[in-house]
């Protein structure tokens, strides 16, 4: 992006955190995401919904640098991040959780957090190995922040438990805690309530709202639990076979005939 374009963009709207322009991903003959335009503003909670195979996770994978879009652009805080590597995008303030839990299963809860912290730390491995003063201070700060995060996420009591031994709901919370450990501005959650019962889903909904406020976050989430989506979203995008078939407020989406026919009308309990 040219400097002038960037400046103009900032004048038009300073508070856009994420913007995609014609973001497209093609796998062979399949257009998994077709010309997706997203605009996500600071402190919003935005949902991406649609049937299985609609292209939701693929959209996340492009935003986080796992895939480079076949065409189109992605801007983070006005900066073009299209094709950047995932670790760089993480350091720019984007964190995510995965549709299938991806914890370090055999490590403790605390170790899962501290590893994520290390991933986002400034000192390099060499200065840490040499125990240079800056690295020692940073290590201490990271440990304290990790303890605080576990406390905040209700995981302090299980800090020494092996991740795999936690009940499913707590593993999902640990995944979110681990994402928060990299101090993101933008948090992407891929089906955080997958496999949860109604009570757990309700607790998670409250938890996401609270985290969003406490950590001053912008949240972009994929979810099939419509109660959760309709309750917490400021805006919703609906994908179907890669196409954007609806966007708007929860009220607008619930009254969007095309969305109701393609997705909301069907019983999605069978999906996962
Ligand atoms: N790495 C890949 N290679 C080939 N096809 C893929 C790949 N990832 C996803 N797809 C295809 O892209 C489409 C969208 O998948 P996905 O983004 O996982 O959907 P959703 O998350 O909405 O369920 C599907 O047809 C899927 O099979
Ligand atoms: Mg998916």
Residues 6+ apart with CB under 8 A from 109: 150, 155, 158, 159, 160, 161, 163, 166, 174
Q: Which CATH superfamily is domain 3-93+184-270 in?
A: P-loop containing nucleotide triphosphate hydrolases (3.40.50.300)
Ligand 1, atom nearest to 55 Cα? 17
Q: Which residues line ligand 1 (CB under 6 A)?
A: 27, 30, 32, 50, 52-58
Question: Rounded to whole angstroms, how far apart are CA atoms 15 and 7?
Answer: 13
Ligand 1, atom nearest to 56 Cα? 22
Residue 271: what pLDDT? Answer: 46
Choice from 24, 30, 67, 238 to test ligand 1 binding pocket (greatest atom count within 8 A of CB): 30
pLDDT digits (tens, 9 = 90+) for 130-152: 667 777 788 888 899 999 999 98
Whose CA is closest to atom 11 on ligand 1? 32
Of residues 219, 264, 262, the one with CA closest to residue 243: 262
Mean pLDDT computed over 2-24: 76
Distance 14 CA to ligand 2 centre (A): 30
Residue 272: what pLDDT? Answer: 43
Q: How many CA atoms lie within 13 A of 129 on its CB side?
A: 3
Domain boundaries, the chain: 3-93+184-270, 103-178
Model pTM score: 0.88
pLDDT, the chain, mean: 90
pLDDT digits (tens, 9 = 90+) for 41-83: 999 999 999 999 999 999 999 999 999 999 999 999 999 999 9
């Amino acid at each position: 992006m040219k400097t002038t374009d960037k400046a103009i963009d900032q004048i038009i709207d300073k508070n856009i955190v994420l913007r995609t322009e014609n973001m497209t991903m093609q796998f062979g003959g399949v257009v998994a995401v077709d010309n997706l335009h997203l605009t996500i503003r600071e402190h919003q909670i935005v949902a991406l919904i649609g049937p299985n195979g609609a292209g939701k996770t693929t959209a996340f994978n492009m935003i986080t640098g796992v895939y480079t879009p076949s065409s189109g652009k992605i801007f983070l805080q006005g900066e073009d991040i299209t094709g950047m590597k995932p670790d760089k995008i993480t350091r720019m303030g984007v964190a995510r959780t995965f549709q299938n839990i991806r914890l370090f299963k055999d490590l403790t809860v605390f170790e899962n957090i501290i590893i994520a912290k290390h991933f986002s730390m400034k000192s390099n491995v060499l200065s840490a190995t040499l125990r240079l003063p800056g690295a020692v201070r940073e290590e201490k700060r990271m440990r304290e922040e990790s303890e605080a995060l576990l406390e905040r996420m209700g995981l302090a009591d299980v800090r020494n438990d092996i991740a795999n031994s936690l009940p499913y709901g707590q593993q999902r919370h640990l995944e979110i805690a681990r994402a928060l450990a990299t101090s993101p501005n933008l948090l992407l959650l891929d089906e955080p309530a997958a496999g949860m019962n109604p009570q757990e889903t309700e607790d998670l909904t409250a938890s996401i709202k609270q985290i969003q406020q406490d950590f001053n976050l912008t949240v972009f989430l994929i979810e099939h639990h419509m109660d959760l989506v309709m309750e917490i979203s400021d805006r919703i995008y609906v994908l179907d076979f890669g196409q954007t078939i609806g966007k708007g407020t929860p009220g607008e989406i619930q009254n969007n005939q095309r969305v109701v026919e393609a997705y909301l009308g069907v019983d999605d309990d069978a999906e996962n």
